[in-house]
Amino acid sequence: MRLFPPTKNLSHLPSLRGLCLLATTAVLLASCGLAAGLSQPGHRSGAPEGESLPIEPATSSVTGSRPLAGARSAGARLRAAAATVPTLPTARQIAEAPAVGALFGLAGRHLGAHFCTGSVVSSSRGDLVLTAAHCVSGASSIAFVPGYHDHEAPYGIWPVAKVLVDRRWQSSKDPNDDFAFLVVRRVDGRTLQAVTGAEQIAFGTPARGSVQVTGYPDSASRPRTCTNNLRRYSGTQFEFDCWGYTDGTSGSPLLKDLSGPDGLGKVVGVIGGYLQGGDLQQVSYAARFGPQMKSLYEVAAASLP
């Protein structure tokens, strides 16, 4: 539902260049700097023809998005479950959310198409983006564009220097560890967090209360957002039900306790986990943030770009 290909089978992904280990709980991908060109396995189209956006400007035009894949069957059990759900809310389009942005393939000094969602999370260095691990498996050169909308980058373009995932995700694609941190480079001497603000990470959050989820479908030039109650799918997985979370919304943050003019809050999960976020656009999943995620965050927060 979130990321190509439709089957969500990652066995065909190419091995990542420059792979090395960091600490005991994390794996650092592309540690010597991300090489040029993004590996997008199974993608429906490459970087579209036409205009592209250099890294330097903050308000230039970028390319459009790939066609929408649409919802796919998740089997009789999920279809039956969805059929019994009462009227669900539908994600609405918004202008922007400064601390939430889209991930783009980076070819040389120009952007390709966006393919997943990320959010800025608080750290002492101010350079961390949180997304789903399955979004960046096989990625070799990407950039984060916070607040992306209408083919503009109002808060700049931030090249990703490092990608960190948990060892259990790297070894077995464990859905309970489907999260990743991206360390971005500073732009004009400024940190990402200073420009956009940052979400706080909440560990061990119970499956109750409402959350707001904002993400970028592949076909959209603006983000969509929806608020609904968080549900317990299993002891390690959350469920969030709302229409409109199609391909590209993997990595979207599940936010609690929003406050302030920019709507910053506490991230309790990201779309991913079970079925890599789900195969129905109205049913999304997220891995609960436990001790493994906390350890990964500590490693990422101390990592240099």
Q: Map residue 293 onto helix, strand or coil.
A: helix
Whether residue 55 lies inside any domain: the answer is yes
Q: Where are the alpha helices (DSSP H) in 138-248?
A: 167-172, 192-196
Mean pLDDT of 245-262: 91
Region 180-201: mean pLDDT is 95
Residue 68 lies in a domain: yes
DSSP 49: S
pLDDT tier for residue 140 given thresholds of 50, 70 and 90:
confident
pLDDT for position 38:
35
pLDDT recorded at residue 79: 57
Reported in sequence order, the residue ranges of 244-292 that DSSP labels E, i.e. its strands, are 253-259, 264-270, 283-287
Task: Look up residue 225 and give its two tokens.
Answer: 């957002």
* pLDDT given at position 86: 64
The answer as to whether 2 is a domain residue is: no
**How many residues in the chain?**
305
* Residue pLDDT, tens place only, 60-89: 223 322 233 333 334 555 555 555 556 899
Give the span between the Cα atoms of 231 and 241, in whole angstroms.
Answer: 8
Asked if the model's pLDDT at residue 271 lies above 80, the reply is: yes
User: Distance between CA atoms of 86 and 53, rounded to whole angstroms?
Assistant: 43
Residue 15 lies in a domain: no
Boundaries of domain holding 218: 20-301
pLDDT for the residue numbered 245: 94
Question: When comparing pLDDT for 14 and 77, which is higher?
Answer: 77
Q: Is 194 helix (H, G, I), strand (E, B) or coil?
A: helix
The whole-number average pLDDT for the span 116-142 is: 94
Please indicate, yes or no, if residue 222 is contained in any of the structural domains: yes
Question: Does a structural domain hold residue 38?
Answer: yes
Name the token pair of 276: 């890599």
User: How many domains would you assign to the chain?
Assistant: 1
Task: Tell me, yes or no, whether 128 lies in a domain.
Answer: yes
Tokens of 28: 């650092």
pLDDT confidence of residue 81: 58
Mean pLDDT across the chain, nearest whole number?
A: 77
Q: What is the pLDDT of residue 97?
A: 93
Digit-coded pLDDT (tens) for 231-246: 999 999 999 999 999 9
CATH code of the domain containing 257: 2.40.10.10
10 inside domain: no
Residue 90 pLDDT > 90: yes
How many CB atoms are closer than 10 A to CB 123?
Answer: 22
Provide the pLDDT confidence category of residue 263 given band limits of 50, 70 and 90. confident
Amino acid 47: pLDDT: 28
Q: Which long-range contacts (CB under 8 A, 24 or more apart) does 192-196 make?
A: 192/120, 192/126, 192/127, 192/128, 192/129, 192/144, 192/146, 192/158, 193/120, 193/122, 193/123, 193/126, 193/127, 193/128, 194/126, 195/146, 195/155, 195/156, 196/98, 196/99, 196/120, 196/146, 196/147, 196/155
In whole angstroms, give the CA distance from residue 174 to residue 302. Answer: 24
